[in-house]
Every structure is written in structure tokens, then in C-alpha cells.
Amino acid sequence: MRPAGDKLPRHFFHTDSLLVTHLPNVRYLTGFTGSSGCALITPRQKLFFTDFRYRQQACLEVKGFGVRITPGAALEGACRYATGRGLRLGVLGYDGAHLRHGEYLLLRRLLRGVKMKNAAGAVEEMRMVKQKSEIRRVGEACRLVDDAYRRLARSRVVGRPEKEVAWMLEKWLREAGSGPLPFGIIVASGPRAAMPHGAAGDRVIRKGEVVVVDMGASVDGYASDATRTFATGRLPRRLSQIYGLVREAQESAVAGCLAGAAGAAVDALARDHIAAAGHGDEFGHALGHGVGLEAHESPVLSKRSHDKLKAGMVITIEPGVYVEGLGGVRIEDTVLVTARGPERLTGFSRKIEYLK
């Protein structure tokens, strides 16, 4: 299987060479799935560096790059290799958004005299528009999540701690074929649902409250991400009104996911609707984000977004309203932008589902 990013459109770099250290970027370009390695692309060579632990794995996985095994850390090995062989680097771009300060200093020291430029976002920009093989994997990860939601809708949660429900969901996802989950499952019940990222805790779920569940699966490294808000019996009027509002906001934002639309404009579709109902201050996070090799990646859909949607992007649409002391509601789907319009990759019911 060839890595998705093995055809490098060089115009993305704005530099002569590129040193790629952020592992999802390395994986995208080379196919390497291990936890230590970096890629160096020069005008003449495409090289991948890792250490002894990954020698066999790199030979099996890495496509289109020459594999070099370094005695120590991959980054240091790459720098020493480049200077030792006198590679012509020209202006070298580096993964500035992800490099640790110590690594940056090391780079400066070992590549003294090389002109460097922060190329943060160069590979991320390539990753934004997905290829068919990537969309297929995200789609599979989405189906796993939908299946888990269907199973949850038939299960008993009242009287069980949030943590237990989260573990049950994780087990189902893994047993159905998901790789490591892309993020810890959120199960936030009752007033805890007012925390947008309320990690599942010891609280025992009671009758007549909301339960926000946010989960994703992974298939061949590609993530999915979907949130549903459930009820365990009749909800207070205010919460069921908020549920209806968030659902409408989500529907209209998903419908606006058209190729060419500005991220900020799509965000406004949901945000203005929520603000008009008087809940603007209670929707304090971005509307959505890209999904792929990382659960959160570019583009961003927010008030301040400068990204524009393109066909082939996979994004989430996840408006929410959170009222301290009362609870919260979020509805999130993973959505594919196509030339013909938006396509939801997660499709579990968005009507409120009642759990036992």
C-alpha cells in the first residue's frame, strides 16, 4: 500500500528541502507507523531515518524513501547524515509547529550554516484534501462509531458510572476492529455535560438527565469523531429546547459544507442560529475541525478561520450549548465535502434517543 502523500507537490514547501518530524506528517509521506522517525526531502533525495528498533518495520512500511538506520535519535541522525554526506539542502524547512525547543536548538547546532525556515503547516496543508483511500478508511472508522451508538441505544446506562460506560464503548469499538482510539471517550452526564471535554468520571448516571458521548474509532491510522447527546428519561424543558436548537444549528451548518465555502462562514451558520436564541455565550468553542491521521487537524471551522472548504476535505460539525449547573448538548458528525455537496460519514440518529 502506498502512503497517501507519496506524490509530493513541491510547491507546498516554499523551501528547497524539508525536514519532517511530526509523526502523522511522517506517516503521511512515508507510510511509517512507528513512534520514532523523521523524513528528509532534498532536491535530489527522499530519505527516512529511524533507529535499530524500527529497522524491519521501516523496510516493510516505508515507500518511496531511502531508509537509513541511525545509531541514536532519528533527528540527530538525519542532521549528522546530511552534514557527513554534504547533502545540498538549500533553504531547509522544518516542522516548526511540532518541534521541541531542545530539538530546534540541536538542529541549529548540527546544521550550522544551513539557512532554515519554519515550514509549519506545509504537510498539514497537503493532508487537508483527502484521497479516495483515506476517505475510505475514515468512512470505515465512522461506521464503527455508528454501530457502537446503535448498540448503546439498546443498553442500560442508568445506575452505572460514566467510566464504565466509556469502557464498554471502547471495548465494542476495539472488538469490532478499531485500532487504538484516537482520543479518550467522553461520557459526561447531568451537570457534568456542561463541560465540553468532560472526561468520563466516577459519577453514576441518573434518570432524567442528559449524557453527552463523544467518541472516535481508527482504521489504518485514520480517525472518526462523532458526538451524540442522549437522555435518560424526560428532560427539563430548557434542556430539550436546547437540544432542538443545537440540532437545527448542526443541520444548517452541515448543509453549508460546500466546496468553496469559508470556514468562518460555515461556523457562522451554526453560531448565529444559537446566538439568536440567546445562547451565544454558551457555545464557546469552534464549530469543527479536520479529521484524518489525527483526530484534530486542519482545516479549522471557527470565527477566526481563514481556511476554505474544498472537495475531499473531511471535517467535523459540532455545535454545542453548555449551561453551568444544568448540563449541555453537543451533536457532532464527521462530514465529507464533495463537489456535489456535503456527505455525512457518521449517520446515527440525531433525534434525541432515550437510554434506559
Distance CA 166, CA 185 (A): 6
**Residue 302: count of CB within 10 angstroms of its CB:** 18
Rg (CA), the chain: 22
334 binds Zn ion, rule: CB under 5 A: no
Task: Put residue 265 in one of left, alpha, beta given phi > 0 → left and psi -120 to 50 → alpha.
Answer: alpha
Residue 50 carries which side chain, given as an amino acid letter?
Answer: T
Q: Which of 76, 225, 282, 297 binds Zn ion (CB under 5 A)?
A: 225
Stretch that binds Zn ion, among 166-174, 224-232, 237-245, 336-344 (CB under 5 A): 224-232
Pick the piece of the chain touching Zn ion (CB under 5 A) from 129-137, 205-213, 272-280, 329-337.
329-337
Q: H helices within 154-262, ranges in order? A: 162-175, 237-255
Instruction: Pick the closer one to Zn ion by CB: 107 or 317.
Output: 317
Q: Does 316 engage in binding with Zn ion (CB under 5 A)?
A: yes
Comparing CB distances to Zn ion, the nearer of 145 and 326 is 145
Per the DSSP assignment, residues forming a β-bridge with 94 are 19, 118
Within 10 Å of residue 129's Cβ, how many Cβ atoms?
17
What is d(CA 330, CA 230) in angstroms, rounded to the nearest whole number?
Answer: 10
Closest to 254 in 3D by CA, of 185, 186, 345, 182: 345
Q: Considering only 42-50, 124-132, 202-210, 311-319, which stretch makes contact with Zn ion by CB under 5 A?
A: 311-319
Dihedral Cα 163, 165, 167, 170, nearest 10 deg: -140
* Residue 197 grid cell: 471535554
Q: Which of residues 157-216 bind Zn ion (CB under 5 A)?
A: 214
Task: Report in angstroms how near the CB of residue 188 gets to Zn ion at its nearest.
Answer: 12
- Binding span for Zn ion by CB under 5 A among 2-10, 28-36, 108-116, 314-322: 314-322
Q: Please, which residue, 116 or 135, has the CB nearer to Zn ion?
A: 135
To Zn ion, the closest distance from the beta carbon of 307 in angstroms equals 15
CB of 334 to Zn ion, least distance (A): 8
Whose Cβ is closer to Zn ion: residue 261's or residue 301's? 301
Look at strands 314-317 and 327-330 and give their pairing.
Answer: unpaired
> In the complex with Zn ion, which residue's Cβ is closer, 225 or 294?
225
Q: How many binding residues for Zn ion (CB under 5 A)? A: 5
Q: What is the closest distance, in whole angstroms, from the C-beta atom of residue 197 to Zn ion in the complex? A: 9
> Closest separation between CB of residue 247 and Zn ion, Å?
16
Smallest distance from Zn ion to CB 332, Å? 5
Q: Which is nearer to Zn ion, 80 or 285 (CB)?
A: 285
Q: From CA 314, how far away is CA 216, in angstroms rounded? A: 14
Q: Identify which of residues 76 and 214 has a Cβ nearer to Zn ion in the complex.
A: 214
Q: Distances from the Cα of 142 to the Cαs of 137, 224, 247, in angstroms?
A: 9, 5, 19
* Range in contact with Zn ion (rule: CB under 5 A) among 136-144, 192-200, 225-233, 257-265: 225-233
146 binds Zn ion (CB under 5 A): no
Q: CB neighbours of 187 closer than 8 A, spacing ≥ 6?
A: 162, 163, 165, 166, 169, 200, 211, 212, 213
Q: How far is the CB of 182 from Zn ion (least distance, A)?
A: 9
Q: What do you get for the CA distance between the two ends of the chain, in Å?
A: 44
From the CB of 320, what's the least distance to Zn ion, in Å? Answer: 10
Residues that bind Zn ion (CB under 5 A): 214, 225, 227, 316, 332
